[in-house]
Amino acid sequence: MAKGSSVLTPVVTVDRGSSQPLHSQVYRSLRNAISTGVLRPGQRVPSSRAMGIELNVSRITILEAYGQLLAEGYFKSSRGAGTFVSSSLPEYLTQVGRPVNGRTPRTSGPRPVARRALQFPTLPMTPWRYGLGAFAVHQPAFEEFPYAIWSRLVTHHSKDPNAHAIHCIDPLGSRRFREAICEYLRTARAVHCEPEQVMIVSGSQQALQITANVLFDPGDAVWMEEPGYLLARNVFTAAGCCQIPVPVDDQGLNVEVGVTRCPQARAAYVTPSHQYPLGSAMSAGRRLQLLNWAQRNGAWIIEDDYDSEYRFESAPISSLQGLDNERRVIYIGTFSKVLFASLRLGYIVVPPDLVERFSAVRHAMDIFPPYLFQEVIADFMREGHFARHIRRMRQLYSERRMVLVEQLRSTFGNTLEIHGAEAGMHLAVTFPAELDDVAIAERAAELGLWLFPLSGSYMTKNARKGLVLGYGNVAAQAIPGAVEKLRTAIASV
Amino acid sequence: MAKGSSVLTPVVTVDRGSSQPLHSQVYRSLRNAISTGVLRPGQRVPSSRAMGIELNVSRITILEAYGQLLAEGYFKSSRGAGTFVSSSLPEYLTQVGRPVNGRTPRTSGPRPVARRALQFPTLPMTPWRYGLGAFAVHQPAFEEFPYAIWSRLVTHHSKDPNAHAIHCIDPLGSRRFREAICEYLRTARAVHCEPEQVMIVSGSQQALQITANVLFDPGDAVWMEEPGYLLARNVFTAAGCCQIPVPVDDQGLNVEVGVTRCPQARAAYVTPSHQYPLGSAMSAGRRLQLLNWAQRNGAWIIEDDYDSEYRFESAPISSLQGLDNERRVIYIGTFSKVLFASLRLGYIVVPPDLVERFSAVRHAMDIFPPYLFQEVIADFMREGHFARHIRRMRQLYSERRMVLVEQLRSTFGNTLEIHGAEAGMHLAVTFPAELDDVAIAERAAELGLWLFPLSGSYMTKNARKGLVLGYGNVAAQAIPGAVEKLRTAIASV
């Protein structure tokens, strides 16, 4: 065993010039640490030996101080286990939040924050955002994840990591990982890319944040899908962008309306493979129209390809980026849906002439991405587990979707309209405008169902009412029960 | 073995309405994928069976297409191993970067980026930033890290993770981890904190980025240490702040000069435990002056406590935050120096009234931190490994520092002045102004030494010349040789 004590030494000051004896100084210092909440009930304190070494005073001095604290009931000693702050101290001694050092806080002066900070929307504490299970959106089938393979790779890369992998401080991320992503994107998504253009980020949110910093000054216009993805809107709001709502229909973004409303927008934000939340795929005609608009107006396209991997009734649709001859598309992908979100890993395929700018923004933001999961996923891809996992999940989600659609149809008939069930891990249902989708979602949360109200995805007033239902993390046999709860929730508002 | 193929299926389109036979469509599609670089030499292609299932055409059709590609040399088949894109294709067929789909790129229109993006400094490609070994700054002793213990914890948390830990999407981070950090900070750093105030971030850079977004609008003034930490300057530059250089002496930041230059600054950025790069500790008098200024002017203090854990000749100095009665200090810490940087983990202790703002900014930026290392470090702290590791490293770095100081004195005598060797993992040396520290650093990099030129840490013209030497990752026995190389580098410019 290593010789050093494994207990933290509290900050104790001794003043050798003082007339007060050292043991008394140590005693007062520790008592003060307890009474101000620096040391908490039940917390272990270092041995007298370790404390003596730390403060450079004799062990006898420390033993004298500890003895007094034990006698007065501040400390408690347990043979073999060490010395602890007593867990039965009177409350007034350990009251959390009491004035520092016994002084009363002074009246505080102004506490200014930035005007820009007020543009960031505060966090919605809505229940459906935090639940786990039916029908939380964007949750994959956690229990189907190949943890045994994953854990083998994680262990391999953390047991005896090589200093160079640990020391990779490239703001683009690990080269090996970027190569694996390129091979995947070229093959499965028809994206045109080389590793030099790929930047590893902590998910699509950071991808959008970096992109917004590179492309937009306050006041710049950006086309947004209506309805669309709320967290993308938050980024553009914080960046001070003027967001132009452009309606979505069953062919995706209506480019003509965009051109009418704001031809000179700096960019368009789109989810062409599986529009969020309504689920349509952007048609070939609209894709060409969009690219054409961007080329003629010197605009950019931000393609968020967030769950393109799962398409059930036809071959996957290739990316918009792959159609683009002018490198005007910033392509964003994530591992949140195919693996899981708390890995915090995604990527951007950056047009070559913007790589330097993206790198500068990323470097100032958080320098470079963490190493471990980059190496793990690179192996997971190279060894074929990634492709196999996608295929398995596609099969699984296809079943879950089928059961859900059937159950919705048999329970609700034509009172609910179903949208976007051809792909991904979620579908949307819409219902008559007199039903309050927020009230339904609140009622459902009491029943243990997590439903996103569709109306929250709209910027404009004429929102359709409905719900977004994620089925990634709901076993097929649990679906009938969950739909029954949904019926109860709808019936009760 | 799972039934799904582990090879990615390329995007191939078949049009059942076309007069062209299906096998011919598949053939052309694959040939096109090779000629445009979507499929690369040596890349494996799916089996004819898997491809048939994917495209919903008969296996015979696929076999016919594959046969033609094999006959023409595009594919190569290896019995038992599968089919691959031939690795001996003529270069013109696989030329990377050739026009997409054989079309020539059109003349590109304007490609505007934001004015704000131009404020982010582009990355310095200086060699000393990327080297590994003597005397790279901020590198801990990688080889001394307890990988066996670490790997056990990592494996434990990745083998069978519980869905709730994986699903923690709190923008503050894992509650367990925040509790462990609080106990550490209260005990070892005398920081006043509760878990509700702690935000887990990806390192001190993200901490600064979030802080800057909460506190500063463009044009707001901030006091910066002169000389100071370049990467902090980058954040404030990007935020559009007006940075006021305030000189540092052997008592830390000269508060009086700050008050004279810009009394109404919104904040001061300081490294009071071990000033970067000169290494002084801020004196008690200056600390009280600084707090006093902040209280009277409604200003904030950003305390970057980046390597406070290692103090050799006296007890650790407690934090500035712990002295503050008005909760005006934003306290930033990192695991980059005590563990390692590519974990990308640090924390902010946020004044309670700013927690909501910090959370909103963080949520828009990257939502929440990745789960694994939070759980691992929480255990690493709770099981006592963290305190023990710090003690061991303090001993180790103390030895390395002593050897380095002795070696510098015996090699250079009084021609070099040594600063800030009482703490941390680096020291600074200064030398006569006629020596060019950048040229020395460049020459040293050719010899395999990584030295930060001190002059790069100054904002103003009258920079002192010198070098910042990290000794965290240099074994004691390697120091004499490294100092000899340093002598050579200095002598040769």
Q: How confident is the model at residue B324 (pLDDT cuts 50, 70, 90)?
A: very high
Residue B400, pLDDT > 90, answer: yes
pLDDT at B326 over 70: yes
State the pLDDT at residue B107. 46
Residue B411 confidence (pLDDT): 97
DSSP B462: -
In angstroms, the CA A331 to CA A192 distance is 10
Partners of A201 on chain B (C-beta within 8 Å) are: 366
CB < 8 Å to B325, chain A: 99-100, 103, 105-106
State the distance between the two ends of chain A, measured CA to CA, in whole angstroms.
64
- Chain A residue numbers with beta carbons less than 8 Å from the beta carbon of B49 are none
Residues of A in Cβ contact (< 8 Å) with B370: 202, 342-345, 370, 373
DSSP B348-371: EE--GGGHHHHHHHHHHHHSS--S
Cα B442 to chain centroid distance, Å, stands at 23
- Among partner residues A8, A114, A168, which is closest to B387 by beta-carbon distance? A8
**Best to test chain A binding among B292, B297, B366 (most A CBs inside 10 Å):** B366
SS3 assignment, position B78:
strand
Q: Distance, in angstroms, between B392 CA and closest chain A CA?
A: 7
Determine, for residues A6 and B113 on separate chains, whether the beta-carbon distance falls below 8 Å: no
- CB of A186 closer than 8 Å to CB of B37: yes
Please give the share of chain B, as a percent, with pLDDT higher than 70: 94
Most A CBs within 10 Å: which of B113, B216, B338, as the mutation test of the A interface? B113
Cβ of A200: how many Cβ atoms within 10 Å?
26
The closest alpha carbon to B451, from B470, B465, B434, belongs to B470
pLDDT of amino acid A36: 80
Cβ <8 Å between A5 and B391 = yes
Smallest Cβ–Cβ distance between B364 and the set A139, A168, A234 belongs to A234
A88, B156, B334 from A7: Cα distances, Å: 21, 23, 20
Instruction: Report helix, strand or coil for B199.
Output: strand
From B8, B163, B325, residue closest to A103, measured CB to CB: B325
Report CA-CA distances (Å) from A13 to A30, A63, B190: 9, 16, 11
Contact criterion met (CB < 8 Å) for B113 and A9: no
Interface size between A and B, measured as CB pairs under 8 A: 381
Minimal-distance CA residue of chain B relative to A53: B315
Residue A148 burial class via C-beta count within 10 angstroms: exposed 0-12, middle 13-18, buried 19 and up:
exposed
- H or E, element range at B65: helix B59-71
In a mutagenesis test of the B interface, which of A132, A137, A200, A202 is the best target, namely the one with the most B β-carbons within 10 Å?
A202
pLDDT of residue B132: 82
- Residue of A154, A365, A380 to mutate when probing chain B, most B C-beta within 10 A: A365
Grade residue B86 by pLDDT with cuts at 50, 70 and 90.
confident
Nearest chain B residue to A205 by CA distance is B366
Are residues B194 and A97, on separate chains, in Cβ contact within 8 Å? yes
Q: Which pLDDT belongs to residue A289?
A: 94
Cα separation, B390 vs B405, whole angstroms = 22
Whether A282 contacts A225, CB under 8 Å: no
Which residues does B14 contact at the CB level (< 8 Å), separation at least 6? B22, B25, B26, B29, B55, B57
CB contacts, 8 Å: A344 with chain B: 366-370
A414–chain B nearest CA distance, Å: 32
- Give residue A90's pLDDT: 60
Look up tokens 């090779």; give the residue.
Answer: B34
Of B105, B142, B365, the CB nearest to A166: B142
Chain B residues touching residue A215 (CB < 8 angstroms): 112-114, 117
The token pair at B113 is 């980026």
Q: Tell me, what amino acid is at B458?
A: Y
Residue A351 tokens read as: 């047009």
Among partner residues A183, A364, A370, which is closest to B238 by beta-carbon distance? A364
- Minimum Cα–Cα distance from A156: chain B residue: B151
From the CA of A480, how many Å to the nearest CA of chain B?
Answer: 23
pLDDT tens by residue, B16-60: 888 889 999 999 888 888 878 888 888 889 889 988 888 888 999
Lowest mean pLDDT of A307-321, A462-476, B61-75, B329-343, name the range: A307-321
Look up residue B224 and give its DSSP letter.
Answer: E
Q: What is the DSSP string of B248-297?
A: EETTEE-HHHHHHH-TT-SEEEE--SS-TTT-PPPPHHHHHHHHHHHHHH
Q: What is the 3-state secondary structure (H, E, C) of chain A?
A: CCCCCCCCCCCCCCCCCCCCCHHHHHHHHHHHHHHCCCCCCCCEECCHHHHHHHHCCCHHHHHHHHHHHHHCCCEEEECCCEEEECCCCCHHHCCCCCCHHHCCCCCCCCCCCCCHHHHCCCCCCCHHHCCCCCECCCCCCHHHCCHHHHHHHHHHHHHCCCHHHHCCCCCCCCHHHHHHHHHHHHHHHCCCCCHHHEEEECCHHHHHHHHHHHHCCCCCEEEEEECCCHHHHHHHHHCCCEEEEEEEECCEECHHHHHHHCCCCCEEEECCCCCCCCCCCCCHHHHHHHHHHHHHHCCEEEEECCCCCCECCCCCCCCCHHHCCCCCEEEEEECCCCCCHHHCCEEEECCHHHHHHHHHHHHHHHCCCCCHHHHHHHHHHHCCHHHHHHHHHHHHHHHHHHHHHHHHHHHHCCCCEEECCCECCEEEEECCCCCCHHHHHHHHHHCCCCCEEHHHHCCCCCCCCEEEEECCCCCHHHHHHHHHHHHHHHHCC
The minimum CA-CA distance between B29 and chain A, rounded to whole Å, is: 12
Cross-chain residue pair A123–B166, CB shorter than 8 Å: no
Smallest CA–CA separation between B161 and chain A, in Å? 8
Continuous H helices in B413-458: 437-446
CB-CB neighbors (< 8 A) of A159 in chain B: 147-148, 151
Element (H, E) at B117: none
Structure tokens at A139: 């949750």
Judge whether residue B100 has pLDDT over 80. no
In 3D, which of A320, A87, A106 has the Cα closest to residue B294? Answer: A106
The rounded Cα B321 to chain-centroid distance in angstroms is 25
Asked if B342 and A168 come within 8 Å (Cβ–Cβ), the reply is yes
Residue B140's CB is within 10 A of a number of other CB atoms, namely 23
Residue B96 pLDDT more than 60?
no
With an 8 Å Cβ cutoff, are B147 and A161 in contact? yes
Question: Which contiguous run of DSSP H or E holds residue B417?
Answer: strand B417-419
Q: Residue B22: its chain A contacts at CB < 8 A?
A: none
Find how far residue A89's CA is from the centre of its chain. 41
- CA neighbours within 13 Å on the CB side: how many for B95? 10
Strand partners, B200: B347
Considering only CA atoms, give the Rg of chain B: 29
Nearest chain A residue to B147, by CA = A159
| Residue in A116, A165, A202 nearest the CB of B366 | A202
- How far does the CA of residue A31 sit from the closest CA of chain B (Å)? 13
Size of chain B in residues: 493
- The closest alpha carbon to B346, from B304, B394, B300, belongs to B304
d(CA A421, CA A280): 9
Q: Which of A422-436, B125-139, B217-231 has the lowest mean pLDDT?
A: B125-139
Find the CB nearest A169 among B103, B130, B322.
B130
- Closest residue on chain A to B393 (Cα): A4
The reply to whether residue B368 touches residue A105, judged by beta carbons under 8 angstroms, is no
Q: Which of B11, B142, B361 sits opposite A190 (nearest CB)?
A: B11
> For residue B300, what is the nearest residue in chain A, using CA coordinates?
A111
Q: Contact at 8 Å (CB) between B315 and A10?
A: no
Q: What DSSP designation does B102 have?
A: G
Q: Give the closest of B129, B188, B318 to A8, CB-based.
A: B188
What pairing do the DSSP bridges indicate for beta strands A466-470 and A426-430?
Answer: antiparallel
Contact by Cβ (8 Å): B139, B132: yes
Of A99, A165, A298, the CB nearest to B109: A298
Between CA A339 and CA A336 the distance in angstroms is 6
- Contact yes or no for B11 and A155 at CB 8 A: no
A39 to B202: CB separation less than 8 angstroms, yes or no: no
Closest-CA residue of chain A to B124: A360
Do residue A10 and residue B214 have CB atoms under 8 angstroms apart? no
Q: Which of B157, B365, B388, B398 to mutate to test the interface with A (most CBs of A within 10 A)?
A: B365
Query: What predicted TM-score, i.e. pTM, was given to this entire model?
Result: 0.91
| Residues with Cβ within 8 Å of residue A455, at least 6 apart in sequence | A437, A438, A463, A464, A465, A466
Per-run averaged pLDDT (10 residues), chain A, 493 residues: 66 84 90 84 88 88 91 85 82 48 56 89 76 88 91 88 74 95 92 96 97 95 97 93 96 96 97 93 91 94 90 75 93 93 95 95 94 94 94 93 96 93 90 92 93 94 93 95 96 91
What pLDDT, on the 0 to 100 scale, is given for residue B90?
60
| C-beta neighbour count of B167 within 10 angstroms | 20
Candidates B3, B7, B9, B11, partner chain A, best to mutate (most A CBs within 10 A): B11
* Among A100, A104, A120, A386, the residue to mutate for chain B (most B Cβ within 10 A): A120
Q: For residues A238 and B364, is the Cβ–Cβ distance under 8 A? A: yes
**Residue A161 CB contacts under 8 Å (≥ 6 apart), including other chains:** A371, B147
* ipTM score assigned to the predicted complex: 0.90
